[in-house]
A and B are shown apart, each in its own frame.
Chain A
Amino acid sequence: MKLNKDGHVFTILFTFVCTVVLVFPLTLAYVGTKPIADDYWRLQHYVKTLQSMGIPADVLHPAEAKAAYEKLEKYTIGTFTKDSAGKDIVEYAPIDFSGIAQNPAKLVLLPIKDEVINKALQDTSYTGNLPVFFYVTEVDGQKRFGGDFTGPGLWGNVSLAVGVNATGDQLTGMRVLFNVETPGLGGRIGETWFTDQFKDKKPGTGMVFNQAGASAENGFDAIAGATISSTAVKDTINQRGLVLLKALIAQKGGTK
């Protein structure tokens, strides 16, 4: 059969063959580079989580950060189930924020290992649609609580790592794990000058924006020109983070 070089069949066939030929080396490149990217984001997650709980860690010391992260007790909201290969996987349950706010006993915690979180990080690396993870640890004989919380930003998810002290009335830190806000505007919520403001703040009934020139005990400076992204951070901390952390403390708090 002789193909008509100007016909549709030839064009479609040609496109198909080209795509296959070009996709092959790309797949190799992808398989080669994916672990490097995964390692990077996993380390970022470890370090930011630890920093939000007031535990020193930095990306220059990956082994130390990993060891410190592994020491944390970890929980999520969901149940274990089997995947098609018979392996345990977590099925994440939807979260009833207002229900938990009224009755902390409604929070059902599932103790998990690091692999669960690592898998979730890998699966959500491009969406930032992280499930809620809780961390409990002890620093200088005092309990510390932390968690990863995701809420809506202007353009997509905003994931925050938030840590509180034993009683939950003071923040130990905050870090932004993921955001796709406008670069240079809302995207600045990820910069440390912004996130560092939250350290040692006493949220009381909830965080608020600082009025011009003033600095309240529960206030932080919003980003000029990025009200919606700043509000997203505030709401995610107040309506999700603090609510769930309070319930966590009700269950796991107190002295041993």
Chain B
Amino acid sequence: MSTPTYKQVWKENLNMNNPVLVQVLGICSTLAVTNKVVNTLIMTVGVSLVTAFASYTLSWIRHLIARRVRMIFQVLAITFYVVLLQLILNAFAPEVARSLGPYVGLIITNCIVMGRTETFAPANPPLISWWDGFTSGLGYMLVLGTMSLIREPLAFGTIADIPIFPPEYVSSGNNWTIAIMAPSAFFLVAIIIWVFKTRALKVEAAAKAPKPATAGGTK
């Protein structure tokens, strides 16, 4: 298998093979942290960096480690970077760290990190693995950022804590409490997946023309 180019990796991870939308990975934290833009931003940057550096490390030592213990090392390396991230957040963004609560720690079991370090890193050189991890994180950021930009205004009337609706929106009790709570996140991510997939199906159909398009094909 030949090493993919940086551009290919970028395109794959942000668009055609977006980890959240296509592979439906990393959904857990996708939903939990997206009711505030600032939290989402910090969380997604964290995931990008952890994925990038964990991929780099795993790829760097890929020839040195016996198959049997690779999984263990993978988990330990990811944990290492997550703990590091947590310490940095505690020191330099304490409020965010507290409001993210356990979700920073849960990056360990974020399937995106697991997936990239399991599939891409062991087969490719370190630098491109770093890039792959990082762009996967960016693809994740794209989706989460969109969600938080919808949820926060509806819920709190603000974007990144800057009011964009008049204060009466919240004080009158007309704000969408549901946008703070869990269900809205499920609906929103489903709608984003829907839009994205419909577009992808159209592209596919156009590519296959003049053959008749096969609707509803994906499993």
With known contacts A18-B72, A30-B87, A180-B101, A40–B94 Cβ distance under 8 A: yes
Return chain B residues, CB-CB under 8 Å to A40.
91, 94
Contact-residue size bin, chain A (C-beta under 8 Å from the other chain): 20 to 34
A11 to B70, CA, bound (A): 10
A184 to B180, CA, bound (A): 6
Return chain B residues, CB-CB under 8 Å to A6.
66, 68
A225 part of interface (Cβ distance < 8 Å): yes
Return chain B residues, CB-CB under 8 Å to A5.
66, 68
Q: What's the least CB distance linking B69 to chain A, in Å?
A: 5
Q: What's the least CB distance linking A41 to chain B, in Å?
A: 7
A67 part of interface (Cβ distance < 8 Å): no
Q: What's the least CB distance linking B171 to chain A, in Å?
A: 8
A177 to B105, CA, bound (A): 23
Return chain B residues, CB-CB under 8 Å to A18.
72-73, 76
Return chain A residues, CB-CB under 8 Å to B22.
none
Chain B minimum-CB-distance residue to A19:
B76
A5 to B70, CA, bound (A): 12
Q: Could you tell me if B72 and A37 are in contact, using CB atoms closer than 8 angstroms?
A: no
Partner pick for B69 among A14, A25, A183, CB 8 A cutoff: A14
A89 part of interface (Cβ distance < 8 Å): no
Partner pick for B80 among A15, A22, A34, CB 8 A cutoff: A22
**Digit string of B38-82 for contact with A (CB within 8 Å is 1, else 0)?**
010000000000000000000000000010110011001101100
Return chain B residues, CB-CB under 8 Å to A11.
68-69, 72
Contact-residue size bin, chain B (C-beta under 8 Å from the other chain): 20 to 34
Q: What's the least CB distance linking A23 to chain B, in Å?
A: 8
A6 to B79, CA, bound (A): 24
Return chain A residues, CB-CB under 8 Å to B36.
183-184
B28 part of interface (Cβ distance < 8 Å): no
A14 to B39, CA, bound (A): 36
With known contacts A22-B80, A225-B181, A184–B72 Cβ distance under 8 A: no
Q: What's the least CB distance linking B175 to chain A, in Å?
A: 9
Partner pick for A29 among B66, B73, B84, B100, CB 8 A cutoff: B84
Return chain B residues, CB-CB under 8 Å to A25.
84
Q: What's the least CB distance linking A62 to chain B, in Å?
A: 14
Given contacts A33-B87, A180-B101, A187-B99, 19 further A-B contacts (CB under 8 A): A10-B68, A15-B69, A18-B72, A18-B73, A19-B76, A25-B84, A26-B80, A26-B87, A29-B84, A33-B88, A40-B91, A183-B39, A184-B35, A184-B36, A184-B155, A185-B181, A193-B170, A224-B173, A225-B180
Chain B interface (Cβ within 8 Å of chain A)? Answer: 35-36, 39, 66, 68-69, 72-73, 76-77, 79-80, 83-84, 87-88, 90-92, 94, 99-101, 155, 170-171, 173, 177, 180-181
Sample 28 A-B pairs with CB under 8 A, ordered by A number: A5-B66, A6-B68, A10-B68, A11-B69, A14-B69, A14-B72, A14-B73, A15-B69, A18-B73, A18-B76, A25-B84, A26-B80, A26-B83, A26-B87, A33-B91, A34-B91, A36-B91, A36-B92, A37-B90, A37-B94, A183-B101, A184-B155, A184-B181, A185-B181, A187-B99, A193-B171, A224-B173, A225-B181
